[in-house]
Amino acid sequence: MASGSDRNPIIIGGLPSQVPDFDPEETQEWLDSLDAAVDERGRERARYLMLRLIERAREKRVAVPEMRSTDYVNTIPTKSEPFFPGNEEIERRILNATRWNAAVMVSRAQRPGIGVGGHIATFASSASLYDVGFNHFFRGKDEGDGGDQVFFQGHASPGIYARAFLLDRLSEQNLDAFRQEKSKAPHGLSSYPHPRLMPEFWEFPTVSMGLGPIGAIYQARMNRYMNARGIADTSRSHVWAFLGDGEMDEPESLGQLSIAAREGLDNLTFVVNCNLQRLDGPVRGNGKVIQELESIFRGAGWNVIKLIWDRSWDPLLAQDRDGILVNKMNTTPDGQFQTYATETGAYIRQHFFGDDHRLRAMVEHMTDDQILHLGRGGHDHRKIYAAFKAAKEHKGQPTVILAKTIKGWTLGPNFEGRNATHQMKKLTVDDLKGFRDRLHLPISDKELESGAPPYYHPGRDTEEIQYMHDRRKGLGGYVPTRVVRAKPLALPEDKTYATVKKGTGQQSIATTMAFVRLLKDLMRDKELGKRFVLIAPDEYRTFGMDSFFPSAKIYNPLGQQYEAVDRDLLLAYKESPTGQMLHDGISEAGCTASLIAAGSAYATHGEPLIPVYVFYSMFGFQRTGDQFWQMSDQLARGFVLGATAGRTTLTGEGLQHADGHSQLLASTNPGCVAYDPAFAFEIAHIVKDGLRRMYGPDSEDVFYYLTVYNEPIQHPAEPENVDAEGIVKGLYRYSEGTSGSIPAQVMASGVAVPWAIEAQRILAEEWNVRADVWSATSWNELRREAVAVEQHNLLHPEEEQRVPYVTRKLTGAQGPFVAVSDWMRSVPDQIARWVPGTYQSLGADGFGFADTRGAARRFFHIDAQSIVVAVLTELAKEGKVDRSVLKQAIDRYQLLDVSAADPGAAGGDA
């Protein structure tokens, strides 16, 4: 036995420390004992003893470092499994009927002439996980609260429909209309969980992989937030997220695990269906994805429950005294386990148990068929129930259940565990017969051979169906169900908007600050104030919102357990368990998930929240556009602020901060109402209209996107008889030309309106051009309305043909029309075809860069002088001015010299 001085020091996981050894002799005795156990009983026995010591140390509250992973066995030992309260035989029959109908629905959707497909293998692997949840855990909404929030794995939707069919929530007509939402309306079923398409059924869209996990985390957090602030009692709500092991490769799946652990979200459970397969092959062929995920979740501070083996393994594990079976489980890679799922019992006997006499002896009394049916834990109702119950009862941490399954389970040898299973959509007659026999269903061969396979329903009065109804009644109603109980909010009086409508006089502020001032007034409203949820990715001070710190405070369930470094300042950083502001750190994805959870609270919990999410505009739709699509799908509402907008406004930051396209990206989202306001009074009208549309008596499922800038300007007071309708619809004449004899029109948005006003002055004073300036508050809404008009006219030729708003608004205005913005030209070009006259646009196409505002605008030729030349160019084309003036103007304004431009206003971070 080696002495201490002879040992080679091995540092693993940072276990040795600088803590001195005050009793080296005692330490040596412990080390000698371990050496003796290894020498006399073997490494397996020594390993077992070490694990038991760690377990006992934790029982005695000795601070032992967490192990990153544990053995490849169930976390919950057989002796600790709770009593299973259900009737397993009835539940098995229910599940068999559900499995059949799910597969048949997809197979029928693949019939000739339809061919819309679907997926059957994912649900086949996770069916037992869902069934235990439906029968014993998922709370409905019938008790008046929000119940549980269940994020169903998108590709498992056929199974959820199939169960709803047994409960008479859906008909055969519905099942036959799977993925035929328009052609079979109103009976069509969406392919995946889409609340916008099925607003009374689905709650959470999940099939864009990775968005379900992050959405569930922030939903659980939002539940705590609402409860802490006294807005809704969410104390009984539990969030369940059903995920795939391949899905965990998405950055959004794992990127925000720490916030769930940091805030102790024990109202959250991830159930990861570890069927070991992605869409086209193994998740970790040479590795072990369950072990890998265990390490990740443990490291992030989660409670991990592994559910790997079903009860048929219990007798074998009970006799594994030397750990040889566990070692075999630990060292067999996932790719090999997938092969075992497709092979015979004889193959498994030879290749899994055959290389060690002790393993061979364990199964010598078992037949090949018994070995073949040694199953995986994700298909065992009792094991699943134990895991779910432990997750619900665990306190202080979120829980992840890693459940091992077989993809395509019960569908037969052509499906189970095959790499191509995800893409297989149709079962042959032989497949159907084998599947029927496996499920013990009373369906004849003739029924399977004479056309489309039939659905199976045991009968509405059978004990299976009554059992299902009774279980759901006991759990508070059917799941999934989306219910909107929220009442319209009392909207603020007009006086709330009065301050910002007055303008800023001689003071210069950015439109971002103008919005913040309005928000401050809105938050004083007795009805609405508490419902605002402020969200920002670590940039409240940048956006001038630190003024909210003292009053609204930053939400932290632990409060502020330290003295803030800026505690003596008026706008000190203040955290509170009842704080109103969500400071989600440097994570736009996390902030957008908070936005979605808050914006859909009116449906989830029956209490409207008004989220206000402020971010660098470049990092909104570009970085998290998929989540904004999810937001629309989830019918969420709220205000989204793209601050520091524009390609030339954020000086010094450069390419990756220069947003000249988010308005264009926003235009692709049908649920997004996007504006680019220039002045404070425009913001007031837009926000007022947004509150009405989203939270008034006839609420709509939209959200508002406002791009606001950090360039300080003097905001004018609202003009008398302002065209409020025009502001909301997207276009109004702000300034009518008063001098000059040659007419022209300049249309501008956002920060470009002041350039247009300056161009109006130059055109009149130097070129005899009388230009009107139009503020285009929303190019996107103008186009959207025009498209709707054309669609109506296309289908109703017999009716009087409608005219788009932009055309009606500009009729009578003498062109040419020149449009300008701090966006790429594609943004204003959206309305070109409906402008009644010659139309030209200026824009900031290309990459942004760091420089002064003036230099950048001269480079892109969107500044006032460039607008002047653009107007003169169009007038020259129409023969209204001589072409010789164009070169004169270019030379006079030095348009080819970027350095000749006035640098413009500096600063203005907010």
Mean pLDDT value across residues 679-686 = 98
For the cut 70, the answer to whether the pLDDT of residue 203 exceeds it is: yes
Q: Which of 401, 380, 467 is nearest to 127 (CA)?
A: 380
- Provide the pLDDT confidence category of residue 278 given band limits of 50, 70 and 90: confident
Per residue in 63-79, pLDDT (tens digit) is 777 778 889 999 999 99
d(C-alpha 745, C-alpha 831), whole Å:
15
d(CA 707, CA 640): 8
Cα torsion for 95, 96, 102, 108, to the nearest 10°? -160
Residue 115: predicted pLDDT: 86
Amino acid identity, position 419:
N
Q: What is the pLDDT of residue 8?
A: 47
**Using CA atoms, how far apart are residues 249 and 417, in angstroms rounded to an integer?**
20
pLDDT for position 19: 61
> According to the model, what pLDDT value does residue 16 have?
54
Residues 584 and 225: their CA atoms lie apart, in Å, by 13
Instruction: Kindly indicate the confidence band of residue 18, based on its pLDDT and cuts at 50, 70 and 90.
Output: low
Q: What secondary structure letter does DSSP report for 576? A: E
Res 438: pLDDT: 93
pLDDT of residue 450: 87
Q: Does residue 864 have a pLDDT over 80?
A: yes
Give tens-digit pLDDT for 509-544: 999 999 999 999 999 999 899 999 999 998 888 888
pLDDT for residue 910: 41
CB atoms within 10 A of CB 730: 26
Rounded distance between C-alpha atoms, residue 849 and residue 836, angstroms: 35
pLDDT at 251: 93
Find the length of the chain. Answer: 910
At residue 906 the predicted structure's pLDDT band, cuts being 50, 70 and 90, is low
- Give pLDDT, residue 2: 44
Please, is 848 exposed, middle or buried when counting C-beta atoms within 10 Å of its C-beta (0-12, 13-18, 19+)? Answer: buried
Section 96-101 average pLDDT: 96
Is the pLDDT score of 7 beyond 90?
no
CA–CA distance, 662 with 606 (Å, rounded to integer)? 32
CB 82, CB 386: distance < 8 Å: yes
Report yes or no: 837 and 880 within 8 Å, Cβ to Cβ.
no
What integer pLDDT is reported at residue 614 of this predicted model? 96
The model's pLDDT over 478-487, given as tens digits with 9 standing for 90+, comes to: 999 999 999 9
User: How many CB atoms sit inside 10 A of residue 354's CB?
Assistant: 14
The residues, ordered by sequence, that sit 6+ positions from 842 with a Cβ below 8 Å of its Cβ are 818, 819, 820, 821, 825, 860, 861, 862, 866, 867, 870
- Cβ neighbours for 784, distance < 8 A, ≥ 6 positions apart: 667
Asked whether the predicted pLDDT for residue 387 surpasses 60, the reply is: yes
Alpha-carbon span 37 to 338, nearest angstrom = 36
Query: Which of 80-84, 119-123, 273-277, 719-723 is least confident?
Result: 119-123
Please report, to the nearest 10 degrees, the dihedral formed by the alpha carbons of residues 816, 822, 825, 828 taken in order: -60
Give per-residue pLDDT as tens, 423-449.
556 788 998 999 999 999 999 999 999
Is the predicted pLDDT of residue 43 greater than 90, yes or no?
A: no
Contact (CB, 8 A) for 252 and 214: yes
Least confident of 11-20, 155-164, 301-310, 548-557: 11-20
Residue 562, φ and ψ in degrees, nearest 5: -155, 165
State residue 673 phi and psi, 5-degree precision.
Answer: -105, 110
Tell how far CA 479 is from the center of its chain: 21
CB-neighbour burial class of residue 47 (10 A; exposed 0-12, middle 13-18, buried 19+) = middle
User: Could you give the 3-state DSSP secondary structure of residue 905?
Assistant: coil
Query: E-strand spans in 205-260?
Result: 239-244
For residues 486 and 608, what is the distance between their CA atoms, to the nearest angstrom? 6
pLDDT given at position 423: 56
What pLDDT digit, counting tens, does each position of 825-843 carry? 999 999 999 999 999 999 9
Share of the chain above pLDDT 70, in %: 96
Give the model's pLDDT for residue 419.
58
What string of DSSP letters covers 267-305? TEEEEEEE-SB-SSSBSSTTS-HHHHHHHHHHHHT-EEE
Q: How large is the average pLDDT for residues 803-817?
A: 97
584 compared with 750, residue with greater pLDDT: 750
Q: What is the dihedral of CA 830, 834, 839, 841, to 10 degrees?
A: -10
Mean pLDDT of the chain: 93
Q: Which residues contact 136 (CB under 8 A, 6 or more apart)?
A: 85, 86, 385, 388, 471, 475
Q: How far apart are CA 659 and CA 645, in angstroms?
A: 6
In this predicted structure, what is the pLDDT of residue 15? 52
In whole angstroms, what is the distance from residue 846 CA to residue 111 CA?
48
User: What is the distance in angstroms between the CA of the first residue and the CA of the last residue of the chain?
Assistant: 70
Mean pLDDT in residue range 769-779: 98
Of 908, 905, 910, the closest CA to residue 852 belongs to: 905
Helix (H, G, I), strand (E, B) or coil at 769: strand
Q: Is 621 helix (H, G, I), strand (E, B) or coil?
A: helix
Can you tell me the distance from the alpha carbon of 383 to that of 380, in angstroms, rounded to the nearest whole number? 5
Average pLDDT for 704-708? 98
Residue 11 has pLDDT above 50, yes or no: no
What pLDDT does 568 receive? 77
- Structure confidence at residue 231 as a pLDDT band (50, 70, 90): very high
Read off the pLDDT of each residue in 160-165 and give the average, rounded to a whole number. Answer: 98
Annotate 192-224 with b (16+ C-beta within 10 A) or e (fewer). Answer: bbbbebbeebbbbbbbbbbbbbbbbbbbbbbbb
Across the range 801-817, mean pLDDT stands at: 97
Q: What pLDDT band is residue 21 in, cutting at 50, 70 and 90?
A: confident
User: Is 161 strand, coil or helix?
Assistant: helix
pLDDT at 472: 97
Q: Which residues neighbour 83 within 8 Å (Cβ) at sequence distance 6 or greater?
A: none
Residue 12 confidence (pLDDT): 43
Q: Which residues of 341-351 are buried (b: 16+ CB within 10 A; e: fewer)?
A: bbbebebbbee
| Nearest CA-CA partner of 760 in 858, 864, 841 | 864
- Counting Cβ atoms within 10 Å, is residue 328 exposed (0-12), middle (13-18) or buried (19+)? middle
**Cβ proximity of 260 and 217 under 8 Å:** yes
**How large is the average pLDDT for residues 351-375?**
95
pLDDT (tens digit per residue) in 234-274: 999 999 999 999 999 999 999 999 999 999 999 999 999 99
Going by C-beta distance under 8 Å and a sequence separation of 6 or more, which residues neighbour residue 393? none
Supply the pLDDT for residue 14: 47
